[in-house]
Amino acid sequence: MLHPNHLRTQNSRSGFTLVELLVVIAIIAVLAALTFSVVKRALLKGKQATCVNLMRNVEIGMEAYFMEQNRPPLPPHKDDYDSILGDPGGLYSTAPLISVLLGDDDLTWEENTGDTFDMSKLNPKRIQYLELTLASPGEAGLRNDGRLYDAWDREMMIAINSRLQYNEFSNGFRDERLHTWGLAEWAEIKPGTQNYVMWSYGADGVKGKGSDHRFAGSDDVKSF
């Protein structure tokens, strides 16, 4: 027969003490934070991957157009200077460029002066160099306004090298090196003599990481 004092000792040890409860709660909080961090990184990687896939898709269309037309899909009056399309920083929308690659005929190129150019002249045969389906908000792709967007609902940025290239480098004027006025230039990398590049500043909308704007470790996405 058990002594009553022994029973009381057993009962007093059933359940958790306050310290034990606090330890359990702390462990659960740490595990939840780690899980949230892993899920957040996975979502970021997924969005970055959709942006890369979009860039590769557009690259296929651009290369097909260059091979067919031997010129960039831009108005003739843009042959002298490198052009920046998209936002932030671009003077022009991506919509006219994409309309040419899709073989559309309902968009025009509009300058800040109000002058316009019929973009259908750049693809009179309505050849479809690019295949895109409409994307929903939060997805990288083509939207109803005809523009290209990244996975964070900002317009994709595209820089296109000038057609007339007589110098090695002269700040984007008739030169071989693609000049983006710092927009697509990170501490360790910048465009060279490519015909075009595409990029996005990622989830935070800020170029690079740290005060020196490094690409490594940032959430930015680029095509080069």
Q: Is the peptide bond before 88 cis (omega within 30 degrees of 0)?
A: yes
**199, 223 Cβ separation under 8 angstroms:** yes
Residue 174 domain-assigned (yes or no)? yes
User: In a 3-state reduction of DSSP, which class is residue 133?
Assistant: coil
Residue 7 domain-assigned (yes or no)? no
User: Which amino acid, 92?
Assistant: Y
Reported as a single tens digit per residue, the pLDDT across 202-221 is: 999 999 999 999 999 999 99
Q: Is the pLDDT of residue 4 over 70?
A: no
Round to whole Å and give the CA distance between 44 and 39: 9
Residue 140 domain-assigned (yes or no)? yes
Residue 129 domain-assigned (yes or no)? yes
DSSP state of 76: G
Q: Is the pLDDT of residue 7 over 70?
A: no
Q: Is the pLDDT of residue 46 over 70?
A: yes
Residue 201 domain-assigned (yes or no)? yes
> What pLDDT is recorded for position 27?
84
Residue 152 domain-assigned (yes or no)? yes
Round to whole Å and give the CA distance between 32 and 208: 29
* Domain ranges, residue 134: 18-222
For the chain, the domain total comes to 1
Reported as a single tens digit per residue, the pLDDT across 159-183 is: 999 999 999 999 999 999 999 999 9
Least confident segment among 4-18, 35-49, 75-89, 91-105: 4-18
Residue 164 domain-assigned (yes or no)? yes
Residue 137 domain-assigned (yes or no)? yes
Task: Give the residue-averaged pLDDT of 64-77.
Answer: 95
61, containing H or E segment: helix 18-69
